Amino acid sequence: MRLKTRPSHREKQLSEDKNFLHRFGYAQELLRDMGGFSNFAISFSIISILTGAVSLYGHGLTYGGTGMMGFGWPLVALFCMMVAASMAELASAIPTAGALYHWASLLGNKRWGWYTAWINLIGQIGIVAGIDYSVAFFADGLLSPVLGYRMTETTTLIIFALVLVSHGVLNHVGIRIVARLNDFSAWYHLGVVLILVVSLAGFGKGELQPVDSLFRLGETFSDKPYWLAFLIGLLQAQWTFTGYDASAHTIEETIHPRVRAPWGIFSSVAFSFVAGMIMLAFVTLSIQDVHAAVSADNPFIFVISQALGSTFGQVVLWMIVLAMWFCGLSSVTSFSRMMYAFARDRGMPRSDWFARINKHYRTPVAAIWLAVILSFILALTDYFIKLVNPDTTYTTLAFLTGVSVVGLYVSYGIPIWLRLIAESKGRFTPRHLGPWNLGKWGRTVAILALLWIAIISVVMVIPPNQNAGIALIMMMIVLLIMDLTYYRHHFPGPEAALQVSPEELARREAEFHD
Amino acid sequence: MTMLGVLLILAACAVALAIGIIANRNVRAFNEETHESFLGDRKERDAFEDPSVS
């Protein structure tokens, strides 16, 4: 199944991919230009061990102590790999940009698909907001002492808006530049991790702690019993391992998608696990005083500054901020493609706008900017809540990441669950599996993945992060109202695309000549 | 505890490798002739009234 890179083979493969997409009733409107590495890179960049594991490092350390890094990270990774493998199987079988929502529509029905899409979109809003807020939070913390201003929620929000706009502009301009930046981002992430690890191991100011300290359980800096604190602390790893559905959302832009996109989904999680484990181990072993680190405004910045000194530490931290920025760039791409696919099937208000592809840039421009605006509104909502109630104890990051984890993982779980039901009813059989499949192990892996999703969906919204749960419930109420008052009868679903004639598909594709 | 932690890390690595090996084997053995695209049931159903998916 390996793809040769000679132009003739590429053209043949592109033609095959387009014809395969036609089977699902969709025209090849997006530019199919991404190779296997680009597909992997977009998910690897969104997972971004330098964003999730770093920005929530303080959260993990506070609740689970140093043992959170030694036990929490591999535990979460183990189950996330099963979720990723189950999703990869479905991506290989149904390779369309709608991904989760399209899988749910075909495996269940269009209303399951509609809910899956909206829950995924809610999660996507949370992940874009959470990532770009992380960029702003770290950049603000590094800029304020240099420029001599006081870091506040307002200054962070302003930087957050600027970061979002930069991601909107680059995504607007085109998939080629974003794909190149994603490719670079993957190498960049690995490079920064290497620099960080070598610096901490070879040039740290203090001795590395014994390995035992990485696996020390029973130490929490919260007021919760340890077992509960440990579960709450898992948010650090769990939020990191989100967003790898991006490889499926960009599947209509990937050459040879039935093999490359599933590998992108699975390998991005697996490689992130390994690289993240190494990074977290060295950072944690560099901590000289855990109490002081936990008490710091930003424990990660504190640990790095203590270990590497102020100047070099700042350089490394700026490199991490840039990695986070790359992560946000990729997440806007993924979010916009999901929205485009959903609008293409008329699942949201003003679908005609958001399904439109810009003929010059070949990108869903309206969907990109809606992704930017919705992400800003989510963070703005939290900003106003804190203005009204300044004594809130949760952090904005915990709120945004809690929303994204639950939203995304519930939307990951629905099609996996529907697949198990479809299999038990004999509707989905081994002959429907794509080339990337786990054979007889697929069912076991899917069941374990679902169990994990059920657990974390509860754990991520229990106090002190209950506001994320409340926000999700309110969003679900809005969805129910939307569904019952309108979409129940007016959403045609992706099955309607199957009625589109080959002539109509050809006409649509003729509008997009390179 | 250290031994337990190392075992957990090794277990995660082993699962990653096993999934990768199985998937790679199946990709190479894939036969397009026996594959059928899954397009769902062509007729529309309401999941929330259908016991098979609720």
β-partners of residue A34 are A254
- Chain A: closest CA distance from residue B14 (Å): 10
β-partners of residue A254 are A34
Which member of A74, A107, A266 has the closest CB to residue B12? A74
- Chain A: closest CA distance from residue B51 (Å): 11
In angstroms and rounded to an integer, the radius of gyration of the C-alpha atoms of chain B is: 20
Per-residue pLDDT of chain A (514 residues; tens, 9 = 90+): 445 455 678 888 888 888 888 888 888 887 788 888 989 998 998 898 998 888 889 999 999 999 999 999 999 999 999 999 999 999 999 998 888 989 999 999 888 999 999 999 888 888 899 899 989 998 998 898 889 889 888 999 999 999 999 999 999 987 778 878 888 989 999 999 999 999 999 887 888 889 999 999 999 998 889 999 999 999 899 989 998 998 998 898 899 999 999 999 999 999 999 999 999 999 999 998 999 999 988 898 889 888 888 788 888 889 989 999 999 998 898 888 888 888 888 888 888 888 888 888 788 899 999 999 999 998 888 888 778 877 766 677 777 788 888 889 999 999 999 999 999 999 999 999 999 999 999 999 999 999 999 999 888 888 777 777 887 888 889 889 988 888 888 888 776 677 778 888 788 777 766 5
User: A14 lies in a domain?
Assistant: no
**So what's the ipTM on this one?**
0.85
User: A28 lies in a domain?
Assistant: no
Quick check: B47 and A111 CB within 8 A?
Answer: yes
User: A151 lies in a domain?
Assistant: yes
Domain count along chain A = 1
User: A273 lies in a domain?
Assistant: yes
User: A40 lies in a domain?
Assistant: no
Domain of residue A424 covers 45-507
User: A30 lies in a domain?
Assistant: no
Which member of A216, A418, A428 has the closest CB to residue B1? A216
User: A39 lies in a domain?
Assistant: no
Residue A15: CB partners within 8 Å, gap ≥ 6? none
Query: Chain B contacts of A24, Cβ < 8 Å?
Result: 37, 39
For residue B31, what is the nearest residue in chain A, using CA coordinates?
Answer: A435
Residue A114: CB partners within 8 Å, gap ≥ 6? A101, A105, A347, A483, A487, A491, A493
Which member of B36, B41, B48 has the closest CB to residue A432? B36
User: A26 lies in a domain?
Assistant: no
CATH (domain of A58): 1.20.1740.10
Cα–Cα distance measured from residue A325 to residue A131, given in angstroms and rounded to the nearest whole number: 8
Cα–Cα distance measured from residue A410 to residue A412, given in angstroms and rounded to the nearest whole number: 5
Cα–Cα distance measured from residue A343 to residue A60, given in angstroms and rounded to the nearest whole number: 37
